[in-house]
Structure 1
Amino acid sequence: MAFRCILYPGENPPELPDEVAAPDCFADLNLDQVVTAICVGRDEYNLRPFFHSPAPDLDTIHYRHEVMKDLEQDEVLGFVKSFSAKMRSMRDQIAKLNKLYYRLQKEAVFLDAIAFYCDAVSQLANDLGAANLRSAGLLGLRRHVEAYVQSEAFSSLHGTMTSIKSDLSEVEYSLLIRYTSVTVRRPGSEPDYGAAVEATFARFKQGDAKRFEFKLPDFFEMNHIEAGILDFVVRLYPEIFTRLHRYFQANQSYLDPIIGRWDREIQFYVAYLDYIRPLKRAGLPSCYPTLSTTSKAVRCHQTFDIALAHKLVGDNAPVITNNFELDGSERIFIVSGPNQGGKTTFARTFGQLHYLGRLGCPLPGKEATLFFFDRLFTHFEKEEDIHNHRGKLEDDLVRIHAILREATPNSIVILNEIFTSTTLRDALFLGRRVLERLIDLDLLCVCVTFMDELSSLGPQIVSLVSTVVPDNPAERTFRVVRRTADGRSYAMSIAEKYRVTYDSLRERLAS
């Protein structure tokens, strides 16, 4: 099978547009922060469309996993980055060329760009040939590059460039400057006046003299005088410059399209691996998930919010990991517990894992089994928008109704603190109706809520509780555990700490 693309297997990979809107869930899950950090310093590659476009099937995810694993070898990642640096130098030359005015200088810069390109491709062929590769993507690239380097097109491109550069390096000429005129001619047998001057003044030398050498400024762009002199040099060596001009005209489409596409797309892998490298250095685990299109079982071990972890590691702060699972008929996590205890972070983690899993990326955690979802919906609290003329409750209802209308049994829904703007009685009524609809859809869901009663609606629901330090309930552990929500454990811990339980009050009043 002919190699076409490093992101998609097969001979007909999709062509993503230059602009792909970020999924609606990105801001809620802090994935916008993750992608922004990944893309820093890589604007030339326009990587955002890749991160905004989940893989269409499991074959694509397995294909990407294999490439990622190959690139985790320092040797492989090293020569890929070396190739990218040379290609960047090539593009820099082309960018300079497009800003130049004089034709001959453009042609010389073009020759330098071809030199960078040929060197990059030749070295890539050698590196790929020597590397221990296992992925179908990089093995396919190896076959393509080997064939391309041996082709007549590349041999001619490289050989002619080398020959012209060699001829240009041998061009010599003399300048005779007299008043306002300049004469350009081939060098003759003129004596070296510099040596004569030095010999004349050597007799006056007394000890080591101060040196007055200086370097003339070297501006990249030619001025009209330099261009005029070069025009005369061309008349002295017409054959060489005619070859250069013909080479320039004949090779405007020199870049192999598959190598050019690969140079951009491989940055999807390189950028992500660079992003998670500080996390791995800090001792945090990463894994390649198992995804299924049929089983909705979810199991994750020692996982964490990747956006938050990136910030904490940068601040040398600890990162708390969590374990969770859904099995059998279980579909919905109801997450309750004290404020600022990690509930929303858990919800984000669940969404991040599934989305990054659909991209084919290594995930934060020791192991992960996930469902191959179709769409990921989020509903997080938002400030009231004065432009839509809706109150907060009405806005919640409109947004959740849109989710329920579009969600399918293969979707994932993440709800964070729903119906907080109404009374507890109304919030419970609305919350039950929403969850009953989600249960009927048989989809996966995480619901962060202060209403513990929602955790007992059926066997499809699993109760998770964010915990506190037993001896100091004001201190959060940021761990979320599977436990029945009773709505009283946290309040009882606070009461015991400040000795205002019934028994404590009786004891104190009796004394």
Structure 2
Amino acid sequence: MKTNKLSLLFPDQDRVTYEMISEETWHDLGLDAVTEKVAAKPQEVPMIQQVMRSLTPDPAVTAFRCGVFEDILHHPEIREKMAKLLDKVKMFYDYGVVRRHENDESGVWDLMHRLEEYHDYIIAVEQIRECLADQDLKSEGMLNLREAVETIYRDNGFAGLRKDVEEMRVTASAVKSLTVGINLNDRFEAINLGLVSVNAKPFTRSGLLKNFLSSVNPKDEIEPEADWNGSTSYYPANAGTGLLEGFGHVAESAVILRNPLAMLSLARVPEADGSSAVPRQMDSAATMLTSRITRKLRDTLGKYLNISVKDISDLIPELTFYTRWAEYIEKRRAEGWTFCTPRVRETPGKDACTDAKGFYNLKLIAAEKPERVVRNDLAFDAEKRVYILTGANRGGKTTITQAVGQLFLLAQSGISVPAEAFDFDPADRILTHFPADEDKTLDLGRLGEECRRFRDLFEKSSGRSLLLLNETFSTTSFEEGYFIAVDAVKAILSRGTRTIYNTHMHKLAKELDTEINEAGRTGRAVSLVAETREGKNSFRVRIAPPEGKSFAREIAVKYGVTYDALTGKR
């Protein structure tokens, strides 16, 4: 990610650090489907993903982004106007003047487009300034943007640019036609041409055009000679360096060309009308006559624009990211969904902590109504470092595991999170290990591959990371998986990584104090249960011993799969 002078994502451009979230983790957390709904256009999806996957652990960055997002969320008029204006800035930054090399020569058509791009840039800066001028902005990022645009607007170079562009556009708009002389060979092919005059009126059927059409009609006599008005001069387009050598004379010939730049109006002729068939010598001839003006325009204004346009255009992905999420959350809140501003802990301690109240998974928004979704609480602190999450199938274990990862990723991006309250220490990495039936990209059928993946994740983790394990070590027999899982959890505890281990190995959760938690160690593994009520999944989690056999017994009784029920005994 390139650093800019101006950013809505980073408060200090000299200290930009981030860790890229893997595509696998992004998919495991279910955010690929969510961002498709957040984006207004398909091409915005990778833009939003790029910002969110660039995870930074700096608490100051998270606080900075949260402030910017709150300003954009609470000022819909700003995001609507800014999005339209900055789209225009981005278009001519990507395809226009600032992408051309400094020494590139410009043709007449190209120069006219440059003139229009400069004009669009001026309008964009003025309207952005007006859009932000009287707004009650509170965030450091938006206040910096307002100050930067004001600085550009008051810069002497901008004032000069505005004056020169307006004058050149007025001159160009007065030109309606050019008179060109063309020499032909025996096959009626143009062999060279020259500019005769610039005219304030367009050609009509009468006059010169009518005379030309009549002259090529076989019924009429073809003129033996080309008669030229004595008050004008003819400059061959293919005269080589001679034309450049005589450029001074052409520029001073006010009788012929009152303003050579006026020829730029030709750039407005659309290709669809056949203008692309005009011999290339036309562009060459006009370019020769205006090359000095082109060079002067590029030299005096190019460097200034390259800096200021880039600073503003680089805000496009950032502003798009904030705007689309603001629109999405605004709509969801109107439907009854709860979102809150995440809070970074002001005094982070040795152990990275988290306290989430009333949180839920974003994926549920597309499938359920807000009143039907069960909200949960979860906290990591110095004592609780690893949760062994057990429960019945389809009890919400994977959904809750994903939701915790979503909270961190959204919060560290500055976005309001799906919860009633969320206080946390940012994670330096978010790491996931999900099974094959939820991630088709890797073959997890072999235990060796599964162990290798876990080791890679463990080596990347730290005491400030978030590790989410979903049915890890479940591709082998229960006894083998249990044996490996005990050592894995003990190693995670030694590192202090915040972890949720979603598993069917109830024995692992039941024997934490005898097999995993060591006496004298502060951080401990805790049993977390996706509880059931009257044999039904409640989708609520709580700290408790695993239900294990008792739940299985309830299910067996309910469906008549006990010995007595099967054999007819009571």
Q: Same fold (TM over 0.5)?
A: yes
C-alpha contact (below 8 Å) 1:301/1:324 kept by paired residues = yes
Structure 2 counterpart of 1:301, which letter? K
Which residue of 289, 304, 313 maps to 1:260?
Answer: 313
Residue deviations 1:60-103, cap 9 Å, x none? 111111100000021222222132233245347629998xx981
Note the C-alpha offset of 1:129.
1.0
Instruction: Give the equivalent residue in structure 1 for 2:116.
Output: 112
In the alignment, is residue 490 of structure 1 matched against residue 537 of structure 2? no
Q: CA 1:171–1:34 in structure 2 vs 1: closer, same or farther (change >3 Å)?
A: same
Which residue of 303, 312, 324 maps to 2:359?
Answer: 303
Instruction: Give the equivalent residue in structure 2 for 1:425.
Output: 479
In the alignment, is residue 379 of structure 1 matched against residue 433 of structure 2? yes
In the alignment, is residue 222 of structure 1 matched against residue 275 of structure 2? yes
C-alpha contact (below 8 Å) 1:58/1:291 kept by paired residues = yes
1:309-320 matched pairs, under 5 angstroms: 309=364, 311-312=366-367, 319-320=373-374
Note the C-alpha offset of 1:115.
1.3
Q: CA 1:392–1:169 in structure 2 vs 1: closer, same or farther (change >3 Å)?
A: same
1:343-422 matched pairs, under 5 angstroms: 343-382=397-436, 392-422=446-476
Whole-angstrom CA distance in 2 between matches of 1:115 and 1:228: 28
Whole-angstrom CA distance in 1 between matches of 2:201 and 2:433: 83
SS of equivalent to 2:272? coil
In the alignment, is residue 463 of structure 1 matched against residue 527 of structure 2? yes
SS of equivalent to 2:504? coil
Q: CA 1:190–1:65 in structure 2 vs 1: closer, same or farther (change >3 Å)?
A: closer
TM-score (norm: length of structure 1): 0.77
**Greater mean alpha carbon deviation, residues 136-145 or residues 403-412:** 403-412
1:260-299 matched pairs, under 5 angstroms: 260-292=313-345, 293-294=348-349, 295-299=351-355
Whole-angstrom CA distance in 1 between matches of 2:202 and 2:465: 85
Instruction: Give the equivalent residue in structure 2 for 1:4.
Output: 6
Whole-angstrom CA distance in 2 between matches of 1:221 and 1:94: 23
Higher RCO (CA 8 Å, separation ≥ 6 residues):
2
C-alpha contact (below 8 Å) 2:339/2:420 kept by paired residues = yes
Which blocks of at least 5 consecutive residues in structure 1 are unaligned?
A: 195-215
Structure 2 counterpart of 1:62, which letter? A
In the alignment, is residue 246 of structure 1 matched against residue 250 of structure 2? no
Whole-angstrom CA distance in 1 between matches of 2:443 and 2:152: 62
Instruction: Give the equivalent residue in structure 2 for 1:77.
Output: 79
**Greater mean alpha carbon deviation, residues 216-225 or residues 60-69:** 216-225
Note the C-alpha offset of 1:341.
2.0
In the alignment, is residue 30 of structure 1 matched against residue 85 of structure 2? no
Instruction: Give the equivalent residue in structure 2 for 1:51.
Output: 52
Q: CA 1:378–1:247 in structure 2 vs 1: closer, same or farther (change >3 Å)?
A: same
Instruction: Give the equivalent residue in structure 2 for 1:201.
Output: none
Residue deviations 1:373-413, cap 9 Å, x none? 22233222238x9xx99972222333333334443322222
Which residue of 157, 164, 182 maps to 1:160?
Answer: 164
Residue deviations 1:264-289, cap 9 Å, x none? 43333224334544433432222222
Q: CA 1:91–1:318 in structure 2 vs 1: closer, same or farther (change >3 Å)?
A: farther
Whole-angstrom CA distance in 1 between matches of 2:556 and 2:45: 58
Whole-angstrom CA distance in 2 between matches of 1:397 and 1:480: 28
Whole-angstrom CA distance in 2 between matches of 1:173 and 1:393: 78
Which residue of 131, 138, 144 maps to 1:134?
Answer: 138
Residue deviations 1:321-375, cap 9 Å, x none? 3332345511222211111221111111112222333333322212112232222
Q: CA 1:46–1:228 in structure 2 vs 1: closer, same or farther (change >3 Å)?
A: same
C-alpha contact (below 8 Å) 2:57/2:426 kept by paired residues = no
Q: CA 1:225–1:417 in structure 2 vs 1: closer, same or farther (change >3 Å)?
A: closer
Structure 2 counterpart of 1:280, which letter? R
Note the C-alpha offset of 1:417.
1.1
Instruction: Give the equivalent residue in structure 2 for 1:65.
Output: 66
C-alpha contact (below 8 Å) 2:55/2:429 kept by paired residues = no
Note the C-alpha offset of 1:439.
2.4
Whole-angstrom CA distance in 2 between matches of 1:337 and 1:16: 35
Instruction: Give the equivalent residue in structure 2 for 1:324.
Output: 378
Which residue of 439, 450, 456 maps to 2:493?
Answer: 439
Whole-angstrom CA distance in 2 between matches of 1:95 and 1:52: 31
Instruction: Give the equivalent residue in structure 2 for 1:150.
Output: 154
C-alpha contact (below 8 Å) 1:55/1:360 kept by paired residues = no
Whole-angstrom CA distance in 2 between matches of 1:290 and 1:189: 66
1:199-210 matched pairs, under 5 angstroms: none
Q: CA 1:439–1:494 in structure 2 vs 1: closer, same or farther (change >3 Å)?
A: same
Q: CA 1:188–1:454 in structure 2 vs 1: closer, same or farther (change >3 Å)?
A: closer
Structure 2 counterpart of 1:403, which letter? L
C-alpha contact (below 8 Å) 1:428/1:451 kept by paired residues = yes
SS of equivalent to 2:27? coil
Note the C-alpha offset of 1:496.
3.4
C-alpha contact (below 8 Å) 2:176/2:201 kept by paired residues = no
C-alpha contact (below 8 Å) 2:360/2:419 kept by paired residues = yes
C-alpha contact (below 8 Å) 1:21/1:49 kept by paired residues = no
Whole-angstrom CA distance in 2 between matches of 1:325 and 1:482: 11
Note the C-alpha offset of 1:5.
2.4
Q: CA 1:432–1:185 in structure 2 vs 1: closer, same or farther (change >3 Å)?
A: closer
Tell me the matched-pair count. Answer: 474
Q: CA 1:168–1:433 in structure 2 vs 1: closer, same or farther (change >3 Å)?
A: same
Q: CA 1:413–1:13 in structure 2 vs 1: closer, same or farther (change >3 Å)?
A: closer
C-alpha contact (below 8 Å) 1:374/1:411 kept by paired residues = yes
TM-score (norm: length of structure 2): 0.70
Q: CA 1:33–1:432 in structure 2 vs 1: closer, same or farther (change >3 Å)?
A: same
Note the C-alpha offset of 1:136.
0.7
Residue deviations 1:166-207, cap 9 Å, x none? 11112244769999999866468999979xxxxxxxxxxxxx
1:175-194 matched pairs, under 5 angstroms: 186=199
C-alpha contact (below 8 Å) 1:322/1:480 kept by paired residues = yes
SS of equivalent to 1:465? strand
